[in-house]
């Protein structure tokens, strides 16, 4: 059925939705209100592979659990990287139609150096301690070929990761993302800060036997994967659009000799463009809101850990951004804990709207004081934008609307997308 518009809203909202509750047969998590514990990371993983990783980090001579983020010490980005980093525009990827209006022509940046090893280690240590993973980590929903060693953690930085939080929220990181994308940006909210996609190498001898280790077998497995269409690629998160405007992806761990595991972007002709894999501490950047993409699963028995942080536009006009909750809401993403996620989401929505309102009020009075004619049609546009932003804040809530996941648009080639209004 067509998407509801603000004028169609009736109370209760259920009257306009064919999908009033999340159902497993629609790819959704029915236990979303009670923290989706059937997706908990198995104790075997926490006690073996995760415990080994934490012990390794804690045994480094410079390890300091109270390390404070210092941009001059922990960021290795240099201004010259704006020139030396390869970037792609939407045009270069052959993408002419998008599901929503792009905020700039920027599509993707190839890997560029961002963090020191010490900073990377701190992000890993803060996020992967077993007590953090028990509370904020979950196995993925609907992933292809995922095992007990593929999981997500997120929503924890506000509570358990002060270094990580300070790093992502630093003005220096926002300035880098702004310069690459060509628009002013900021982070969004706690639940979109440092979502980690984790695949660990197995230390179980029986499991290890099943995974290729010879270089030639790995390359055969990689080639077999590379010939697949986007939606068939094994991944910890299927083919999707992000629900945030831009995603900054930092490589935090990548085992020696790892094969595969890059981000694949679907291009305008429905092929997969693999962004070359970053080294540890390097970052890539994509306009994930309008690029269909997939985080492929490594074919080797290797650790691969990335930290993904969302950024939204925040220009001087305090415009309303295009973020949504489609692929992040608790009925879709098991690691999104209901009470944390929606408090984060509405706090950010209302803060954004409130700044926008203040800006608009100032504009009205400034124009009046200059003696300008009041523009009714322009004001209707301003009000409609706010109405849409508010409607977009709640239209996907589980209490009212739970269409099958993944949504049809995740599978729709760009050129078959409906025309934008
Ligand atoms: Fe993504």
pLDDT in tens, 192-208: 999 999 989 998 888 76
Is the pLDDT confidence value at 15 over 70?
no
Give residue 85 CA to ligand 1 midpoint distance, Å. 21
Residue 247 pairs in a beta bridge with 286, 310
Residues whose CB is under 5 A from ligand 1 (ion)?
A: 242, 288
Tokens of 57: 């980090």
Whether 411 shows a pLDDT value over 50: the answer reads: yes
Whole-number Å distance, alpha carbon 266 to ligand 1 midpoint, is: 12
How far away, in angstroms, is 63 Cα from ligand 1 center?
Answer: 31
**Interval between CA 163 and ligand 1 midpoint (Å):** 23
* Residue 342 scores a pLDDT above 90: yes
Q: Which pLDDT score is estimated for 276?
A: 85
130-140 pLDDT tens trace: 999 999 999 99
Mean of the pLDDT values across residues 275-304? 88
Mean pLDDT of the 352-380 span? 97
If we measure between CA atoms, which residue out of 236, 402, 389 comes closest to residue 304?
A: 236
Tell me the CA–centroid distance for residue 217 and ligand 1, in Å.
28
| Alpha carbons within 13 A on the beta-carbon side of 349 | 19
Model pLDDT for residues 173-190, shown as the tens digit of each residue? 999 999 999 999 999 999
| CA of residue 403 to ligand 1 center, whole Å | 20
Residue 1, pLDDT score: 46
Nearest to 261 by CA among 207, 290, 225: 225
Element (H, E) at 266: strand 263-266
pLDDT band at 88 (very low <50, low <70, confident <90, very high): very high
pLDDT of residue 76: 98
CATH topology for 26-416 is Jelly Rolls (2.60.120)
Written as six digits, the tokens of 305 are: 């850990």
Segment 154-179 shows an average pLDDT of 98
CA of 251 to the centre of ligand 1 (A): 14
CB 164 within 8 A of CB 239: no
CA of 242 to the centre of ligand 1 (A): 5
Which residue from 235, 214, 7, 243 is spatially nearest to 142, judged by alpha carbons? Answer: 235
Cα of 140 to ligand 1 centre, how many Å? 13
Name the most confidently modeled range: 85-94, 226-235, 291-300.
85-94
Q: Where are the domains of the chain?
A: 26-416
Cα–ligand 1 centroid distance for 294 (angstroms): 7
Separation between Cα atoms, residue 262 and residue 226, nearest integer Å: 11
Helix or strand run (H / E) with residue 353: helix 338-369
Average pLDDT, the chain: 90
């Amino acid at each position: 059925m067509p998407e509801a518009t603000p004028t169609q809203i009736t109370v209760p909202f259920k009257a306009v939705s064919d999908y009033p509750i999340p159902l497993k047969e629609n790819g959704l998590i029915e236990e979303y209100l009670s923290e989706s514990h059937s997706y908990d990371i198995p104790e075997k993983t926490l006690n073996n592979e995760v415990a080994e990783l934490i012990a390794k980090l804690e045994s480094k001579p410079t390890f300091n659990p109270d390390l404070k983020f210092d941009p001059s010490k922990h960021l290795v980005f240099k201004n010259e990287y704006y020139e030396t980093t390869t970037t792609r525009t939407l045009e270069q990827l052959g993408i002419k139609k998008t599901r929503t209006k792009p905020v700039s022509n920027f599509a993707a940046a190839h890997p560029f150096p961002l963090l020191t090893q010490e900073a990377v280690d701190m992000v890993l240590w803060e996020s992967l301690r077993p007590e953090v993973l028990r509370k904020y980590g979950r196995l993925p929903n609907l992933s292809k070929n995922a095992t007990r060693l593929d999981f997500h953690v997120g929503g924890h930085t506000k509570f358990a990761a002060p270094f990580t939080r300070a790093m992502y929220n630093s003005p220096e990181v926002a300035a880098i993302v702004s310069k690459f994308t060509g628009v002013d940006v900021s982070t969004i909210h706690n639940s979109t800060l440092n979502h980690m996609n984790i695949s660990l190498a197995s230390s179980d001898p029986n499991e290890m036997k099943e995974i290729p280790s010879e270089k030639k077998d790995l390359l055969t497995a990689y080639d077999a994967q590379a010939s697949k269409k986007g939606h068939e690629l094994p991944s910890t998160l299927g083919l999707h659009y992000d629900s945030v405007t831009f995603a900054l992806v930092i490589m935090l761990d990548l085992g020696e000799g790892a094969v595969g595991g890059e981000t694949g972007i679907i291009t305008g002709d429905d092929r997969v463009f693999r962004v070359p894999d970053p080294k540890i501490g390097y970052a890539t950047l994509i306009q994930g809101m309008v690029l269909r993409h997939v985080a492929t699963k490594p074919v080797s028995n290797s650790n691969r850990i990335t930290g993904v942080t969302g950024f939204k536009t925040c220009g001087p006009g305090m415009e309303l951004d295009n973020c949504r909750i489609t692929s992040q809401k608790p009925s879709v993403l098991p690691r999104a804990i209901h009470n944390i996620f929606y408090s984060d989401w509405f706090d950010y929505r209302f803060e954004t709207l409130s700044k926008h309102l203040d800006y608009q009020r100032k504009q009205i009075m400034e124009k009046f004081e200059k003696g300008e004619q009041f523009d009714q049609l322009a004001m209707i546009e301003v009000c409609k934008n706010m109405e849409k932003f508010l409607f977009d804040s709640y239209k996907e809530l589980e209490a009212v609307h739970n269409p099958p996941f993944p949504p049809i648009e995740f599978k729709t080639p760009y050129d078959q997308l409906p025309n934008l209004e």
